[in-house]
Each structure stands twice: as structure tokens, then as C-alpha cells.
Amino acid sequence: MSGQWRWSLYGAHLNLAGTAFADSPLLDSEHGFNLGASIAWMFWKSERTVAPKNTSPGGEFDMPLLLGF
């Protein structure tokens, strides 16, 4: 997907073991796991856009964080 389409995936793990309320009768599990996905279509984009500028004093954001991936 490219152009007007955007997508994302996410996951999260919740660990409630050792919390103050772990022995509560309202809590049926100490662990939880969530997965999700989203797809969006950009139906309009302005013809005038502003190029982002690097506001970092050392310029450390000039390069991508994960190189080669």
C-alpha cells in the first residue's frame, strides 16, 4: 500500500502479576494480550505542504533510527 493508503499494526502485553489488586475476585487473569490493525485512506491532501525541519541542536535526527531494516 502506498500513496493515499496508510496502515499500521500493533500489539501489547499486559502483566498484572504482583499488583496490589492481583488477588481481587474482579480480576480473572493476570495476563492479557492485544493485537490490532488499522487501514486508512487519505481522501484529500493539500497541494501546499511544509517540509519538516530538524529542530535537534546536534542534528541526530537527520538519519533514520533503524538503518538497514
pLDDT at 63 exceeding the cut of 60: no
Which of residues 5 and 66 earns the better pLDDT score?
5
Residue 13 CB contacts under 8 Å (≥ 6 apart), including other chains: 31, 32, 33
Tell me whether strands 5-15 and 31-41 are parallel, antiparallel or unpaired: antiparallel
Residue ranges of domains in the chain:
5-41
pLDDT at 66: 54
Read off the pLDDT band of 34 (50, 70, 90): very high
What percent of the chain stands above pLDDT 70?
Answer: 71
Per-residue pLDDT of 35-56, as tens digits, reads: 999 999 988 888 888 776 666 6
Task: Give the separation between CA 32 and CA 50, rounded to whole angstroms.
Answer: 41
What is the value of pTM for the model shown? 0.45
